[in-house]
Amino acid sequence: MEANNLSTSEAVQVLIVPLQGVNLVIPQALVMEIQPVTEVRHALADSPAWCRGEIDWRGSRVPLLSIEEWCGLERASSGGRTRRVAILKGASKQVDIGYYAIEIHSIPHPVRVSPVDIQAVDARSDCELFQQSVKVAGVYGELVDLDLLESRVVALFRPSRRNEPEA
C-alpha cells in the first residue's frame, strides 16, 4: 500500500488500527471483522510469544497474533475488559494463509486516502514488521510487511489445520 502504487486520483479506504503506543495502517479490504474475544486456545508448543494461540471465527480456527509482542512494544493490560481482535484476510501472494487475527487496543477508524494524504515519515522502527512509518490524514502509523507476517504464521501452523471447521 505504498503511495507510489496509487494514481493521483485513486483513493483507497484504510483502517487506522490502534495498538498500545502505535497505529497500524491496513487496507480496509483485508479486515473482515472486529470482534471481542474471551476464549483463546493455547498456543502451539514452542511457538513464539507473539503467537497467542487460536480463536474460533465463523466455525473455523484462526491464529491469534500480537504485533505488540512481536515488536517488543509495551502491552496494556485489558483491565478486566474483553479484548478485541481484527480478523484479517491473507494478502500475501507468496503464501496461502486464509485468515488470521491480531490483537488490537481499541476500535479502528476508517480513513479514505489518496496518495497526497500519505506522507512517509523518517522515524525508524526496530521492528522488522514495520515497512514504513507514515502520516495518513494527520495520524501517524506504520505500514506492515504482510508478506513477512503471513509467511511466519504459515510456518507455525500446518496447512491442514489452518481454518478447518470444528468437529
How do strand 60-65 and strand 99-104 relate by DSSP bridges? parallel
> Long-range contact list for 75-83, CB < 8 A, 24+ apart?
75/20, 76/20, 76/105, 82/36, 82/37, 82/38, 83/36, 83/37, 83/38
Q: How many CA atoms lie within 13 A of 90 on its CB side?
A: 21
Give the per-residue pLDDT at 109: 94
Give the per-residue pLDDT at 47: 87
> Could you tell me the residue ranges of all domains in the chain?
3-156
Question: SS3 for 16?
Answer: strand
Nine-digit cell at 160? 491442514
Burial class of residue 112, CB neighbours in 10 A (0-12, 13-18, 19+): exposed
| Residue numbers in the chain where pLDDT is lower than 70 | 1-9, 75-82, 158-167
Give the per-residue pLDDT at 162: 45
Q: If you ran DSSP here, which 8-state letter would residue 166 be given? A: P
- What is d(CA 127, CA 18) in angstroms, rounded to the nearest whole number? 16
- What is d(CA 58, CA 124) in angstroms, rounded to the nearest whole number? 38
> 43-62 pLDDT, tens per residue?
777 889 899 999 999 999 99
Q: Which CATH superfamily is domain 3-156 in?
A: CheA-289, Domain 4 (2.40.50.180)
> 19-43 pLDDT, tens per residue?
988 999 999 999 999 999 888 988 7
Helices (H), 26-161: 67-71, 146-156
> For the whole model, what pTM was predicted?
0.81
Give the per-residue pLDDT at 21: 86
